[in-house]
Amino acid sequence: MNTLAALDHYNSLCDELDLFMSEENSHLRFQGSDANQLVDRKRGILEKLEGALQMLRMAGPVRTSEHAASCEVRKRVMGKILKLLLLSRESEQLLLKSSLRSTPRVEAPKANPARLASTYKTRKTPAKGTSQAEGSWAVW
């Protein structure tokens, strides 16, 4: 397979991944969780992308006659990759929001007023005839 064909194949896989990630993003917006079916499908697409990358590595340099066409395909692929990164980031934020909503809140224990007073006490009253600095406690 020549480099231009490998780039076109990779471009089509990026289209497939774009469609999938858009579906995943809308699923996360409305359902709030990542379904196992989506994870399996994502793994399949990522395996295809790995294979396409291997084909690109093995294809070698672009022929001079195909240089202009390959530049155009590369620009499209890079644009799609940037779009996919943004979609991925948004999906991660949606996953984080849904995981925070589903985690039960932990109640803080009731504070004992006497213990709080002793914990936060930083000064003792200065003795008569001493300055404020001499009678202060140093808190480290």
Q: What are phi and psi of 139, to 5 degrees?
A: -105, 120
Nearest Cα to Cα of residue 62 among 71, 54, 50: 71
Distance of CA 105 to the CA centre of its chain: 23
Q: When comparing pLDDT for 128 and 60, which is higher? A: 60
Residue 112 is given by DSSP the state P
Does the CA dihedral 44-49-50-52 come out positive or negative? positive
In sequence order, which ranges of the chain are alpha helices (DSSP H)? 3-31, 36-59, 67-102, 113-120
Instruction: State what percent of residues in the chain have pLDDT above 90.
Output: 24
CB 94, CB 22: distance < 8 Å: no
Report the pLDDT value the prediction gives residue 134, as an integer from 0 to 100.
Answer: 53
Q: pLDDT (tens digit, 9 = 90+) per residue, 12-68? A: 999 999 999 999 888 888 876 666 777 888 889 889 989 998 988 888 787 888 888
CA angle in degrees (0–180, nearest 5) for 23-46-36:
55
Two tokens at 137? 């406690």
Report the pLDDT value the prediction gives residue 97, as an integer from 0 to 100.
Answer: 83
Report the pLDDT value the prediction gives residue 80, as an integer from 0 to 100.
Answer: 93
Please tell me the distance from the alpha carbon of residue 91 to that of residue 117, in angstroms, as a whole number.
46
Average pLDDT over residues 69-84: 91
Report the pLDDT value the prediction gives residue 126, as an integer from 0 to 100.
Answer: 57
b or e along 90-128 (b: 16 or more beta carbons within 10 Å of the residue's beta carbon)? ebeebeeebeeeeeeeeeeeeeeeeeeeeeeeeeeeeee
Domain boundaries, the chain: 3-102
Distance of CA 41 to the CA centre of its chain: 19
- 139 pLDDT higher than 80: no
Q: What pTM was computed for the model?
A: 0.63
Report the pLDDT value the prediction gives residue 35, as an integer from 0 to 100.
Answer: 66
